[in-house]
Structure 1
Amino acid sequence: MSEEEVKKLLGLDAELYYVRDDVVNHYALSFILPVPSDTNSLHFTWHSSSKVDYRLGFQVENTSAMDQPQSNISAQGEVPRTRSALCIGICFFIYFSCVFGLCVLKYTAHLCVCLISGYPSLRIEKNDLRSVSLLEAKAKVKDIAISRERVTLRDVLHEGTFGRIFHGVLLDEKDPSKEKQVFVKAVKDHASEVQVTMMLTESCKLRGLHHRNLLPISHVCIEDGEKPMVLLPYMNWGNLKLFLRQCKLAEANNPQAISQQDLVHMAIQISCGMSYLARREVIHKDLAARNCVIDNSMQVKITDNALARDLFPMDYHCLGDNENRPVRWMALESLLNNDFSSASDVWAFGVSLWELMTLGQTPYVDIDPFEMAAYLKDGYRIAQPINCPDELFAVMACCWALDLEERPKFQQLVQCLTEFHAALGAYV
């Protein structure tokens, strides 16, 4: 999608692409694209250097809200060898959610087009802006800075408005024949100095901490004239929230779908990492599945929240105070008084446990973010997930006690979940 088209839809000077030079933009495949109600067409450019067949179809959930989309190409055929225009005509009668599905051979691109009257805020949290300049942020990570030449970027794993996460390769400093895989967090060329500074400062949240269930930064690239990059050890199944959602999609057709015991094991690992942070008197403030990663051995690690607001914009909301916050994961005292503690992290852990048991669903999805504080104060909470054992939901409920002293400590959660995991194993 051209810069002009993205500018029209999102008001941003940026491109949106799905496959380019045989590199798949995995995040774009599930990108939530807000489309203004006065938009009557979407324009894409497509071509292939080799023979690729395609099949095109549309699904409309409510035809009273939206006409069946029309395109300037046939329902099936061969992808053109030269750069060509693909136009999809749309007509909306009222604000309503709909889904486009575009499949090109083995590459599948899903655009979830949500018509909304406003967009989620992309403002920077004022608490992160304090008085830290870009020079100061760079100075704090100077001791782990490496040459940009040692880093090779591969696939885009996740992309937002101003940030990207790549799968990269880092060459060994002493022996270039040796290499290791890394996550690379980077900002785009149009990112502001404030956004660059924010990425660097938030990336340092877990720096210097060592635990098997934490993933702190390992290196940075901060050379003059180049946008900074942050490197973290690679976890080959990637972001936990995206992984859970993939599991949900595959659940019906996968005889080896992820088990309840696996999910509880993930929860134990997260609680172990958080217990370590609590002992070190470190408050995370943004614990959620989106800020965890996982590998193919089911090892889970907690990460910082650098770029999270940009990569998961629908999980953050501005309540009129210039702070873009994870409202649906926050404890009541954090919402009302901006008070954060290990106890508020416990609350967020309860919501994260709910995310695990629902395979990545969004909590409180039907509640207006502006009404969350009143909703919680009145004693309401998210419902027990389907097929979630009563004992496990009771653990979640304890995490959401209004009285901070009534919430369990992380070490208690580790013990409780470990015992529950063992009990599940006894029935397998």
Structure 2
Amino acid sequence: LNAELSYVRNDVINHYALSFNLLIPCETNNLHFSWHVKSKVEYKLGFQVDNPIAMAMPQANISLQGEVPRTLSVFCVELSCTGKLDSEVTILMQLNLTINSSKNITILNFKRRKMCYKKLEPEVKSPTSDKNSSKAIFDPVNTAPTTSTRVFYISVGVCCAVIFLVAIILAVLHLHSMKRIELDDSISDSSSSQGLSQPSTQTTQYLRADTPNNATPVTSYPTLRIEKNDLKSVTLMEAKAKVKDIAISRERITLKDVLQEGTFGRIFHGILIEEKDPSKEKQVFVKTVKDQASEVQVTMMLTESCKLRGLHHRNLLPITHVCIEEGEKPMVLLPYMNWGNLKLFLRQCKLVEANNPQAISQQDLVHMAIQIACGMSYLARREVIHKDLAARNCVIDDALQVKITDNALSRDLFPMDYHCLGDNENRPVRWMALESLVNNEFSSASDVWAFGVTLWELMTLGQTPYVDIDPFEMAAYLKDGYRIAQPINCPDELFAVMACCWALDPEERPKFQQLVQCLTEFHAALGAYV
């Protein structure tokens, strides 16, 4: 990464820098640390990984015990994945510093996170094929090849060449015909930063929201897996059958305070009793419906709740259980996050901002954006399209950890964020990319567009985007090149990231992995000025 993070400067420890658990790109295998001291300081170095099956123990190119050099030096730590399974690994590097061999010991803990992926096993040739191949190349010693033998080998060679050429032609035709999604997990550091810091001419024109660029919308996107937002009619019985395997008894759930309430839906703070040990309990979110909810609304809640089911990532919050007993209102359970909905949290921060300007910093907001981008990067790798990324569909806890949720009940709890454009479907018009508005087409690139709007929400502490634009005019407004204006006190570099996300051509928008790296570098630069 083209960024530096200072942990100790002028004998003062930067505790905030130590608390930041930095995400390492999967293709980065080495970390470099620079250090030096003015007087004698002894050190001890140690490492821990939470999943030794996915990552080998880190190795340093210096001894694990000795003296800190008096001149500026750099040491390297190697982080090598084993390739045995897919997992996000947390690495802890502990550095113990002792001054003048006394009891004055300072302990520095450096935390990093890295995604490791399972390597594909090479194909093993069967014994039969080995025997065949050995027979094919066998030539008796001291026996001159006959004319028929030469003709046979020439024929085999010509056949192999023809088969090879046909395979190449078929592969080219296949690549041109299929629609695929690009997974850029192996982007180099330099290319990732250049992709955002040096946007194309078309993208640069979006930096002024009051100037249209008159760009012609693109109608076909050959390298993106595009998904239509077709709402297939699912019956309530079918919806319940899909979640039957995670259904639990109503007796295990206790409802406490109402956290959010809409026309037909509610979110409660609840308590779930452990099945194996009734003396243990844990806090949960409980999504449910009121008595007047229709069967269609109940079905939609259950169906949309399954969007992230089965996915595991530190920045995702999938459902854990449901209650679908006869005679009871259906309930959907998610792990509890004590500061709740991100949009409501941001608006609360805005209310107290006048009395407490330090309530939430710009660096905190960028850290939230990094977490959302990490979760979306994971979804993109799994070819899952969210279709409704926004601050209202994220939750946060008191450690400022952010997790992305599904959009079940969002239309009811945030009715002003959804609009019907005459097709009998409420959609988040102000967060949607142009191709989604016009052609009802969604892809990872349309999720990137929504991420740009979500980043704008973060920097404005929960304001509504395009609040003065008629929802029916949004498509024409975007097609003419207009975008939401740069928020007050938002750095130009951060608004440039948003602008890249709003490129008309989905191919010109950055990938989520690029966004993670760019925002991480920007976050580190903000820390350098603190």
Normalised by the length of structure 2, the TM-score is: 0.57
Does structure 2 conserve the Cα–Cα contact (< 8 Å) formed by 1:128 and 1:198? no
Contact between 1:351 and 1:396, CA under 8 Å: does it hold in 2?
Answer: yes
Output the CA distance in 1 between the equivalents of 2:484 and 2:244: 44
Task: Quote how far apart the aligned CAs of 1:128 are.
Answer: 7.0
- Mapped to 1, the partners of 2:242 and 2:342 lie a distance apart of 29
1:129–1:198: 8 Å Cα contact kept in structure 2? no
In the alignment, the residues of structure 1 paired with residue 524 and residue 439 of structure 2 have an alpha-carbon distance, to the nearest angstrom, of 39
Number of the residue aligned with 1:305: 407
Question: Which residue, 363, 373, 381 being the options, matches 1:279?
Answer: 381
Give the drift of 1:175. 1.3
Q: CA RMSD in A?
A: 1.0
Aligned residue for 2:333, secondary structure, equals strand
Are the counterparts in 2 of residues 154 and 168 from structure 1 also a CA contact under 8 Å?
Answer: yes
Could you state the TM-score of these two structures normalised by the residue count of structure 1? 0.70
Instruction: Indicate conservation of the 8 Å contact 1:162/1:190, yes or no.
Output: yes
Shift of 1:414: 0.2
Which of 227, 249, 253 in structure 1 is aligned with 2:329?
Answer: 227
Q: Aligned to 2:525, which of 410, 423, 427?
A: 423
Distance between the aligned counterparts of 1:363 and 1:140, measured in 2?
36
Structure 1 partner of 2:450: 348
Within 2, Cα distance between the matches of 1:307 and 1:289?
14
- SS of the aligned residue for 1:253 comes to coil
Q: Deviations over 1:172-220 (max 9, x none)?
A: 1111111100000000011011100000000000000000000000000
Stretches of 4+ moved more than 3 A in 1? 126-129
Query: Partners of 1:146 and 1:321 in 2: how far apart?
Result: 37
Does the 8 A contact of 2:391 with 2:454 survive in 1?
yes
In structure 1, the residue matched to 2:355 is 253
Q: Which residue of 2 aligns with 1:413?
A: 515
Deviations 1:217-272 (A, max 9, x none): 00000001111000000000000000000000001111531000000000000000
Question: Structure 1: how far apart are the matches of 2:233 and 2:476?
Answer: 33
- Given that 1:182 and 1:233 are in contact with CA atoms closer than 8 Å, whether structure 2 keeps it comes out as yes
Residue pair 1:327, 1:335 contacting (<8 A) in 2 also? yes
Corresponding residue of 1:151: 253
Measured in 1, the distance between the counterparts of 2:346 and 2:382 equals 29
Q: Does 1:195 align with 2:300?
A: no
- Is 2:264 the partner of 1:162? yes
Secondary structure of the structure 1 residue equivalent to 2:354:
helix
Q: Which amino acid aligns with 1:392?
A: L
* Residue identity matched to 2:459: M
Q: Distance in 1 between matches of 2:465 and 2:472?
A: 15
Contact 1:214 1:273 in 2 (8 A): yes
Structure 2 residues without counterparts, runs of 5 or longer:
1-227
What is the identity percentage for the equivalent residue pairs of Structure 1 and Structure 2?
92
Contact kept, 8 Å, 2:229 with 2:440, in 1: the verdict is no
2:473 is matched with which residue?
371
Aligned counterparts of 1:237 and 1:257: Cα–Cα separation in 2: 14
SS in 1 for 2:271: strand
CA distance in structure 1 between the partners assigned to 2:439 and 2:265 by the alignment: 30
**1:7-406 equivalences in 2 (<5 Å):** 129-406=231-508
Q: What's the offset of the Cα at 1:131?
A: 2.5
SS in 1 for 2:484: coil
Aligned positions, number: 303
Instruction: Give deviations 1:262-291, integer Å, cap 9, x for gaps.
Output: 000000000000000000000000000000
CA distance in 2, matches of 1:150, 1:128: 36
1:80 is aligned to none
Q: Greater Rg, structure 1 or structure 2?
A: 2
CA contact (8 A) 2:456 2:498 kept: yes
Gaps of 5+ in 1: 1-125
